[in-house]
């Protein structure tokens, strides 16, 4: 297995043996490369900045849903270290081609495509792909490189170097609807001059575990656990939209710019309504975003005329572009989601961004037309579009808004912080910024007690987990005692569960250290102050986890 | 002496005895109040944020040029603690009314004016002052409150809550051309709902030193030192424009967005040309920005028709709106300076901001019309204007520019960092951000050696100095051995020079601690990385002071 080092300035690709004595994949590999080869103080969009692509530890194997791909770099939104992972088939394919990771350095002015195949990798001119939105860009890339290629690309928002831009990855149906969305890594990729990575794995090989039989047994145990997992069936049947009702019910569905935790019109955007619309328009449930998935929570959502619109209308999108904007129209939300996928814009950040415009008198809750017009402004690259495309913190600054729903410059996700207090500790303290996937805490939501401990444990587990390439929803079913045997059998190791958790702790320590060197001190590990004073109806919860508990997160 | 606490939410003004056993003024008082009553994590524009006005330790006395007024708060640009000081007569008058400082808390939605007179202070509706630019606003305030009042006010940029907004203070001729310019404190003032502070010192009394005779002797020693000081005569005769030639000559005049350190056309903006224009248009030299000044470096600059344009066309403005934009037209620079004074915009930050637009293809060096049009955009509050009015870091983010001339979000001033290496250490490490007044180092500009020590000593001295209310240009002539006796005689103390420097160290320690609590770690104490690689012609200097020297600044 080797690491591809792509020098955009020289337009060269070098293959290096992966570092010995290290077990590196996904988030752990992102961190390793950024720390070993990067400089925390450089500008995220400078030529000295790095852009990383890293399949997980279990990528390329038959382990269930092990194909999450980590994308990494220094975040234009947070100014700190950033890993965002995404589905699609790219991770498996890279791994099957013997590639542990890709590190992109330098920059060039003429847009390039990195073409990877069994024979090796080359940079080629991007040509007329540049300027296209993501769906047409992928169509054109397939015309050029064949139907079977997988594509990792930055969209128009990235080309504009907007801080809220994503890296899109094609799903098993070739649609660029899966995004390493958070933290602005699309701009980091674009700043290198790299428009897309195209992967053709013809001739690639499934990775052979060092202990084949043990791996089979371990993988089966995980498969069984997932199949019988508590949320698996619901996710398969409904998708993540199922959380609209539950979050709304417990007062944790961000509504009207985080002024409310429940949405009066939630029944227009919940799973029941969603299902009705999917069925009425010939959409479908039970799609996997990556090969080997046995949860398959993706859904195909068509428009009123039955035409495909999007295949990844997730809970977070519905919360942030729906209830948080007072919008109860699933068709409109799906249209905006598609537009975000086309441009390469994170829906969580955008929902926060448009939401705060209400404070500036520039947005009325429920105004679909206005919300869509703001997406148009981003697409057109107007000054207003550039403000909005730079994320919620910049938008707040431009309009002098002081009630900012963000931590370290990253917008707060759709499990409302004040009424999801354990999760909120993660938002406040994760080196990744306010990220709901960095360590969810789904118990005792309204209690201030014990949330520091819960968040700490969850963040450690997620850090390790994000290195494996396993989907988050595996985590809901399969604890680390089932995961570690797969890693051991694949790599021929003898990790205990403690070793695995120590690995997670190291990841967090490294990330915190990177951020510190980048100028982000522990004082930044705070929810916005207003969340400590302003009650969130209907629970009227405030964030009241004791400061010492929040500060205790890195006591390990 | 007492501190006025103004609660904008309740619209009350309370007078409190100043804290006992503390010697507080200027920057030291700003820090004390922010730390004692403020919360480092709050948003700078929130109602929990504080806005501070603080005359110096020597204000209200007959000490020469002791009337600098400190304005303080949490900076919208840096996110850290901020003190910016300014001339005018306000500091003396406040002090003569027995006011040690003013702390403004809370906020109200209807704009208020704080009227201060011998009988006390009240809040009154600002009425039709709101929306006016600063000169007409001051005219109207004088119509309302009498010709003799001094005025502290936030301009249209502050009203828009733009991060690059100043607090203007009227000069002895009643012109709002003196600004506590850096760090965005105009927006902090405006966010309170406070449009202006109007001071009528009728009935006020010159402060009586505890040891009257000793004070007289000490003040005379300082006066004599200033009068015979090395730069006094040149400053009096030419103003700060005199530095155009010297900085240009040593390759330290920022030119064309910090691409050059010398300006080919510097003779069109230097002291000779400046003097020619001042004389030709009936302007004049030798004005004091505050009563009791014996340097009097201000100049009146009229336009082509002989009409007054501005009385504070300083070196920094000429450098940043002139050479840094490739503009060699002093009339144009003066017009822009006036417009900045009218709107309440910092010229250093704006020059950096427009300069980087060259990287986005939105500005050609030397294009006066375009530069002026951007000021119009700010005035009109367009989206583009809001980007530009938010300072260089936000503008860089919005346009995806990675070559950002700023430290901690504050634009780098007009003594070019790479070829003023001691000064650059101050830019990098000051808790105030890239501030040329936070600790200048004017020797061995191109040497990398010893600059950490020089900057440390200078920052300590300036921290203490900024508490005294003395003008920076006193410092060029009168060392602390002359200043301490004035403080001792006024306050009846027995400070040694060491005590005074310890006082300066405490100020720096407190500010650094505030920033740390606000999330700004020591890793932020860095010049932009590109300044370490990109040579600055004609010296081709890069910033190469050893990192350990930069990191040693707070070793005291």
Mind listing the pLDDT tens digit for each residue in B367-403?
999 999 999 999 999 999 999 999 999 999 999 999 9
**Cβ–Cβ gap B399/A386 under 8 Å:** yes
CA angle A462, A468, A469 (to 5 degrees): 100
- The residues, any chain, with a CB within 8 Å of residue A86's CB and separated by 6 or more, are A68, A69, A71, A167, A169, A178, A179, A180, A181
What pLDDT is recorded for position A257? 98
Helix/strand/coil for A150 = strand
pLDDT band at A206 (very low <50, low <70, confident <90, very high): confident
Residue A383 and residue A50 in contact, taking contact as beta carbons nearer than 8 Å: no
Q: State the nearest Cα–Cα gap between B406 and chain A, in angstroms.
A: 12
Interface of B with A in 370-389 (CB under 8 A): 382-384, 386-387
Which of B106, B400, B517 to mutate to test binding with chain A, by most A CBs within 10 Å of its CB? Answer: B400
**Cβ–Cβ gap B400/A518 under 8 Å:** no
Total length of chain A: 556
Q: Is the pLDDT of residue A374 over 90?
A: yes
pLDDT band at B69 (very low <50, low <70, confident <90, very high): very high
Find the CB nearest A517 among B397, B403, B523. B523
Q: How far is CA B30 from CA B37, B57, B100, B336, B428, in A?
A: 11, 12, 11, 30, 22
Q: Is the pLDDT of residue A477 over 80?
A: no
What pLDDT is recorded for position B447? 97
What pLDDT is recorded for position B473? 86
Residues A418-440, mean pLDDT to the nearest whole number: 97
> If we measure between CA atoms, which residue out of A263, A290, A319 comes closest to residue A88?
A290
- CA pair distance A212, A214, nearest whole angstrom: 6
- The residues, any chain, with a CB within 8 Å of residue A21's CB and separated by 6 or more, are none
**Cβ–Cβ gap A400/B39 under 8 Å:** no
Interface of B with A in 430-469 (CB under 8 A): none
Chain A partners within 8 Å of B519 (Cβ)? 408, 520-526
Residues B230-239, mean pLDDT to the nearest whole number: 91
Strand partners, B52: B72, B103
Q: What is the DSSP letter of B441?
A: -
- CA pair distance A215, A274, nearest whole angstrom: 39
pLDDT of A91-148, one tens digit each?
999 999 999 999 999 999 999 999 999 999 999 999 999 999 999 999 999 999 999 9
Q: Is the pLDDT of residue B22 over 90?
A: no
Q: Is the pLDDT of residue B101 over 90?
A: yes
Chain B partners within 8 Å of A517 (Cβ)? 523
Residues B266-292, mean pLDDT to the nearest whole number: 95
Interface of A with B in 399-418 (CB under 8 A): 399-404, 408
Q: At what angle do helices A330-343 and A134-145 cross, to 10 degrees?
A: 50
> If we measure between CA atoms, which residue out of B460, B482, B422, B430 comes closest to residue B227?
B482
Q: Is A21 exposed, middle or buried (0-12, 13-18, 19+ CB in 10 A)?
A: exposed
**Cβ–Cβ gap A523/B520 under 8 Å:** yes
Residue A166 and residue A348 in contact, taking contact as beta carbons nearer than 8 Å: no
* Chain B, nearest residue to A190 by Cα: B400
Which of B397, B524, B547 to mutate to test binding with chain A, by most A CBs within 10 Å of its CB? Answer: B397
pLDDT of B394-430, one tens digit each?
999 999 999 999 999 999 999 999 999 999 999 999 9
**Cβ–Cβ gap B523/A520 under 8 Å:** yes
* Chain B, nearest residue to A522 by Cα: B519
- The residues, any chain, with a CB within 8 Å of residue B338's CB and separated by 6 or more, are B309, B310
| 3-state DSSP percent of chain A in helix, strand and coil, to 5 | 40, 15, 45
pLDDT band at B475 (very low <50, low <70, confident <90, very high): confident
Q: Is the pLDDT of residue A468 over 80?
A: yes
What pLDDT is recorded for position B452? 97
**Cβ–Cβ gap B402/A522 under 8 Å:** no
Residues B71-97, mean pLDDT to the nearest whole number: 97
Q: What is the DSSP letter of A390?
A: T
Q: Is B414 exposed, middle or buried (0-12, 13-18, 19+ CB in 10 A)?
A: buried
ipTM given for this complex: 0.96
Interface of B with A in 263-322 (CB under 8 A): none
pLDDT band at A473 (very low <50, low <70, confident <90, very high): confident
Helix/strand/coil for A536 = strand
**Cβ–Cβ gap B519/A530 under 8 Å:** no
Q: Is A230 exposed, middle or buried (0-12, 13-18, 19+ CB in 10 A)?
A: exposed
Residues A187-200, mean pLDDT to the nearest whole number: 98
- CA pair distance A181, A164, nearest whole angstrom: 8
Q: What is the mean pLDDT of chain B?
A: 96
**Cβ–Cβ gap B387/A383 under 8 Å:** yes
pLDDT of A531-555, one tens digit each?
999 999 999 999 999 999 999 999 9
What pLDDT is recorded for position A186? 98
pTM of the model: 0.97
Q: Is the pLDDT of residue A23 over 90?
A: no
- The residues, any chain, with a CB within 8 Å of residue B337's CB and separated by 6 or more, are B309, B310, B312, B313, B317, B321, B347
* Chain A, nearest residue to B381 by Cα: A399
- Exposure letters A179-202 (e unless 16+ CB within 10 A, then b): bbbbbbbbbbbbbbbbbbbbbbbe
**Cβ–Cβ gap A400/B40 under 8 Å:** no
* Chain A, nearest residue to B389 by Cα: A398
Q: Is the pLDDT of residue B478 over 80?
A: no
List the single range of A186-200, B142-156, B468-482, B486-500 with lowest mean pLDDT.
B468-482
Interface of B with A in 58-117 (CB under 8 A): 76
Chain A partners within 8 Å of B43 (Cβ)? 402-404, 528-530
**A and B: number of Cβ contacts within 8 A:** 141
pLDDT band at B21 (very low <50, low <70, confident <90, very high): confident
Chain B partners within 8 Å of A518 (Cβ)? 523
pLDDT band at A476 (very low <50, low <70, confident <90, very high): confident
pLDDT band at B474 (very low <50, low <70, confident <90, very high): confident
Helix/strand/coil for B103 = strand
Interface of A with B in 510-549 (CB under 8 A): 515-526, 528-530
What pLDDT is recorded for position A312? 80
What pLDDT is recorded for position B257? 98
Q: Is the pLDDT of residue A175 over 90?
A: yes
- CA pair distance A371, A353, nearest whole angstrom: 10
pLDDT of B175-197, one tens digit each?
999 999 999 999 999 999 999 99
Which of B192, B402, B533 to mutate to test binding with chain A, by most A CBs within 10 Å of its CB? Answer: B402
HEC sequence for B3-57: EEEEECCCCEEEEEECCCCCCCCHHHHHHHHHHHHCCCCCCCCCCCCCEEEEECC
**Cβ–Cβ gap A45/B404 under 8 Å:** no
Backbone angles phi, psi at B200, to 5 degrees: -115, 110
Helix/strand/coil for A12 = strand
Chain A partners within 8 Å of B401 (Cβ)? 45, 161
Helix/strand/coil for B299 = strand
What pLDDT is recorded for position B277? 97
What pLDDT is recorded for position A451? 98
Q: State the nearest Cα–Cα gap between A405 and chain B, in angstroms.
A: 11
What is the Cα A147 distance to its own chain's centre? 26
Residues B444-456, mean pLDDT to the nearest whole number: 97
**Cβ–Cβ gap B48/A529 under 8 Å:** yes
**Cβ–Cβ gap A45/B383 under 8 Å:** no
Find the CB nearest A387 among B387, B408, B515. B387
Chain A partners within 8 Å of B520 (Cβ)? 519, 521, 523-524
pLDDT band at A230 (very low <50, low <70, confident <90, very high): confident
Q: Is the pLDDT of residue B555 over 90?
A: yes
What pLDDT is recorded for position B156? 98
């Amino acid at each position: 297995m080797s690491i591809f080092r792509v020098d955009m300035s020289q337009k060269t690709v070098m293959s290096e043996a992966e570092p010995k004595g290290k077990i590196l994949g996904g988030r752990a590999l992102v961190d390793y490369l950024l720390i070993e080869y990067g400089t925390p103080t450089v500008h995220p969009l400078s030529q000295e900045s790095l852009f990383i692509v890293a399949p997980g530890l279990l990528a390329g194997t038959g382990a269930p849903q092990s194909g999450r791909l980590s994308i990494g770099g220094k975040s234009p939104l947070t100014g700190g270290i950033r890993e965002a992972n995404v589905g699609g088939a790219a991770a498996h394919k890279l791994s099957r081609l013997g590639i542990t990771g890709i590190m992109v350095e330098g920059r060039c002015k003429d847009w390039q495509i990195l073409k990877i195949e069994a024979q090796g990798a080359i940079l080629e001119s991007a040509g007329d792909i540049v300027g296209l939105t993501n769906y047409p860009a992928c169509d054109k890339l397939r015309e050029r490189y064949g139907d079977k290629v997988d594509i990792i690309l930055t969209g128009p928002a990235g080309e504009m170097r907007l801080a809220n831009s994503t890296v899109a990855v094609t799903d098993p149906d070739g649609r660029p609807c899966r995004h390493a969305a958070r933290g602005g890594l699309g701009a980091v990729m674009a700043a290198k001059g790299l428009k897309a990575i195209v992967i053709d794995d013809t001739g690639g090989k499934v990775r052979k575990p060092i202990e084949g039989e043990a791996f089979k047994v371990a993988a089966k145990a995980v498969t069984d656990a997932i199949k019988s997992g508590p949320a698996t069936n619901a996710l398969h049947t409904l998708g993540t939209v199922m959380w609209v009702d539950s979050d709304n019910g417990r007062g944790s569905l961000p509504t009207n710019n985080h002024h409310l935790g429940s949405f009066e019109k939630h029944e227009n955007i919940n799973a029941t309504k969603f299902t009705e619309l999917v069925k009425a328009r010939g959409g479908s449930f039970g799609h996997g975003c990556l090969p080997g998935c046995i949860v398959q929570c993706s859904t195909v959502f068509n428009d009123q005329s039955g035409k495909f619109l999007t295949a990844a209308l997730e809970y977070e999108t519905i919360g942030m572009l729906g209830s948080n904007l007072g919008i109860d129209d699933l068709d409109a939300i799906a249209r905006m989601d598609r537009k975000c996928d086309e441009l390469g814009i994170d829906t969580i950040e955008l929902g926060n961004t448009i939401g705060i415009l209400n404070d500036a008198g520039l947005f009325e809750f429920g105004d679909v037309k206005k919300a869509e017009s703001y997406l148009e402004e981003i697409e057109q690259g107007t000054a207003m579009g550039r403000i909005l495309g730079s994320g919620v913190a910049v938008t707040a600054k431009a309009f002098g808004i002081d009630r900012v729903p963000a931590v370290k410059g990253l917008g707060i996700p759709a499990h409302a912080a004040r009424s999801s207090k354990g999760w909120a500790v993660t938002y406040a303290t994760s080196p990744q910024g306010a990220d709901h996937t960095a360590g969810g805490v789904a118990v005792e939501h309204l209690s201030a007690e014990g949330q520091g401990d819960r968040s700490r444990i969850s963040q450690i587990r997620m850090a390790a987990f994000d290195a494996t390439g396993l989907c988050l929803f595996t985590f809901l079913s399969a604890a680390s005692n089932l995961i570690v045997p797969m890693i051991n059998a694949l790599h021929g190791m003898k990790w205990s569960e403690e070793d695995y958790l120590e690995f997670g702790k190291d990841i967090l320590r490294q990330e915190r250290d990177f951020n510190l060197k980048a100028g982000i001190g522990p004082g930044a590990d705070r929810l916005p102050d207003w969340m400590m004073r302003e009650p969130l109806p209907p629970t009227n919860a405030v964030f009241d986890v004791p400061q010492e508990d929040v500060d205790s997160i890195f006591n390990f």
